């Protein structure tokens, strides 16, 4: 495996760090990583390595305000800004790889976890026909929070989102809830790139993004693999199941849902014996969709 990194510049001048994991031979497919909140793309190195071993080229940016990307820490005005950044990075990576790695030739897939799952759904609502993808994998998508917010704090947050959108507040994410693997939790806590705050504006943007997805997810035509852990203490897996159950003719539209009993938030970072079937599922789903036609890009 060959690892490289580079910087992309968003349309508003924000510097975006990008991690790339590439096989030593010509790739068979491409996976774009949209990481979750508080973290960064580098935390997906193990999963990337496993996909590279199957022949995948894997890359992903640190979202603005997170990891090694620029921008106010933990802030975004709209989740559509994340989506536009991701679209730009994808187009740049397609150009970097030459004609043989363009999505018209090589199968491309989108993988989004947690906040990145919500971001991925917003991306598809914004850009589904702007870039030919074969499918999307949605891991523990952020469609609701398991941690219930105090009503007073919620009201203050909504007010601050209007009058002081860059006011930073502790995210309140319990580190021990990301995984049952103690070493994963230890590294998560010690990670110097972890961002432990979100702004009031981010909170408002999250709620607006969830509302948009709930209203319009049924219009997404791309094949999608959705999966959740029933032991998730961060994202409300019941909200994801409720949305999925409301999708019209899900099976006919190649929309698949998998539930993993008792699994914590980061299913790809659970203890080895538990994460193995999750990683196998991802690889098998990608393999099954390599020959599927991509959603045709608009002219």
- Tens place of pLDDT per residue across the chain (299 aa): 999 999 999 999 999 999 999 999 999 999 999 999 999 999 999 999 999 999 999 999 999 999 999 999 999 999 999 999 999 999 999 999 888 899 999 999 999 999 999 999 999 999 999 999 999 999 999 999 997 766 655 666 666 667 778 888 888 889 999 999 999 999 999 999 999 999 999 999 999 999 999 999 999 999 999 999 999 999 999 999 999 999 999 999 999 999 999 999 999 999 999 999 999 999 999 999 998 777 654 43
Per the CB < 8 A criterion, the answer to whether 49 and 88 are in contact is no
- Per-residue pLDDT, 155: 65
- Cα–Cα nearest to 31, from 68, 62, 56: 56
How would you class 209 by CB atoms within 10 Å of its CB: exposed for 0-12, middle for 13-18, buried for 19 or more?
A: buried
> Longest Cα pair distance anywhere in the chain, in angstroms?
56
* 168-170 and 108-113 strand pairing: unpaired
**Domains of the chain, each with CATH number or no CATH:** 2-288 (3.40.50.1820)
Give the alpha-carbon dihedral of 2, 83, 276, 174, to 10 degrees: 110
Identify the sign of the CA torsion 282, 287, 289, 294. positive
Write the DSSP string, 94-136. HHHT-GGGSTTTS-EEEEEETHHHHHHHHHHHHHTTTS--SEE
How would you class 273 by CB atoms within 10 Å of its CB: exposed for 0-12, middle for 13-18, buried for 19 or more?
A: exposed
- Per-residue pLDDT, 160: 64
Q: What distance in Å separates the CA atoms of residue 235 and residue 138, rounded to the nearest whole number?
A: 13
Per the CB < 8 A criterion, the answer to whether 230 and 146 are in contact is no
Q: What is the pTM of this model?
A: 0.95
Per the CB < 8 A criterion, the answer to whether 210 and 125 are in contact is no
Alpha helices, DSSP H, located in the chain: 45-53, 79-96, 115-127, 151-163, 182-190, 200-216, 237-245, 272-288
Q: Measuring CA to CA, how many Å separate 13 from each of 85, 89, 179, 203, 250?
A: 11, 13, 35, 23, 39
Identify the sign of the CA torsion 110, 243, 276, 269. positive
DSSP element (H, E) containing 232: none
Q: What distance in Å separates the CA atoms of residue 19 and residue 7, rounded to the nearest whole number?
A: 9
């Amino acid at each position: 495996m060959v690892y490289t990194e580079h910087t992309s510049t968003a349309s508003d001048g924000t510097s975006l760090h990008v991690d790339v994991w590439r096989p030593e031979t010509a790739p068979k497919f491409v996976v774009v990583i949209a990481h979750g909140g508080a973290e960064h793309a580098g935390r997906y190195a193990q999963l990337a390595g496993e996909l590279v071993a199957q022949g995948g080229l894997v890359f992903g940016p640190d979202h603005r305000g997170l990891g090694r990307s620029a921008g106010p820490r933990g802030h975004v005005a709209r989740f559509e800004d994340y989506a536009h950044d991701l679209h730009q990075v994808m187009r740049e990576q397609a150009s970097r790889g030459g004609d043989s790695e363009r999505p018209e030739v090589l199968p491309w897939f989108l993988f989004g976890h947690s906040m990145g799952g919500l971001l991925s759904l917003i991306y598809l609502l914004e850009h589904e026909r702007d870039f030919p993808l074969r499918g999307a994998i949605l891991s523990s998508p952020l469609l609701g929070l398991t941690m219930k917010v105090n009503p007073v704090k919620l009201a203050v947050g909504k007010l601050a989102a209007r009058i002081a959108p860059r006011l930073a507040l502790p995210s309140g994410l319990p580190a021990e809830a990301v995984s049952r693997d103690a070493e994963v939790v230890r590294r998560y806590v010690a990670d110097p790139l972890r961002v432990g705050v979100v702004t009031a504006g981010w909170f408002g943007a999250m709620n607006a993004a969830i509302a948009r997805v709930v209203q319009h997810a049924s219009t997404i035509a791309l094949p999608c693999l959705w999966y959740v852990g029933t032991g998730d203490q961060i994202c409300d897996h019941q909200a994801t199941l409720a949305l999925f159950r409301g999708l019209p003719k899900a099976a006919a539209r190649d929309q698949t849902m998998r539930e993993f009993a008792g699994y914590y938030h980061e299913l790809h970072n659970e203890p080895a014996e538990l994460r193995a079937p999750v990683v196998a599922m991802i690889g098998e789903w990608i393999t099954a969709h390599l020959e599927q036609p991509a959603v045709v890009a608009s002219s």
